[in-house]
A = this chain, B = another copy of it.
Amino acid sequence: MKNIIKQLRKKSNMTQAKLAELCKASRQTINCIENDKYDPTLELAFKIARALEKNIEEVFIYE
C-alpha cells in the first residue's frame, strides 16, 4: 500500500504534528504511516483523507 500523505501534507503546509492533531492520532502514527511502516485502520484512513480534503483512494493507493 502506497500513499501520498507527505506530498498532500506539504501542499497544505501542515506538519506531521498538525495532521496528527486533526486526526486525533499521535505524531508517531502519522510518521509510521507516511513512511509505510504499517497501514492505518480504515477509520484513521478516513480521518487522514478528510484532514487532507481528499477521498481515501486519492491518498492511499492499493496495488
Q: Which residues of A are in contact with B by a Cβ distance under 8 Å?
A: 1, 39-46, 50, 55-57, 60, 62
Per the bound structure, the CA–CA distance linking A63 and B43 in Å amounts to 10
Q: Are B57 and A42 in contact (CB under 8 A)?
A: no
CB distance from A17 to the nearest CB of B (A): 22
Q: A1-B43, A41-B42, A42-B39 are in contact. Are A57 and B57 (CB under 8 A)?
A: yes
Work out how many copies of this chain go into the complex.
2
Per the bound structure, the CA–CA distance linking A44 and B41 in Å amounts to 9
Per the bound structure, the CA–CA distance linking A57 and B55 in Å amounts to 8
CB distance from A37 to the nearest CB of B (A): 14
A–B pairs, 15, beta carbons within 8 Å: A1-B42, A1-B46, A39-B43, A40-B42, A41-B41, A42-B56, A43-B62, A45-B45, A46-B60, A46-B62, A55-B55, A55-B57, A56-B56, A56-B57, A57-B57
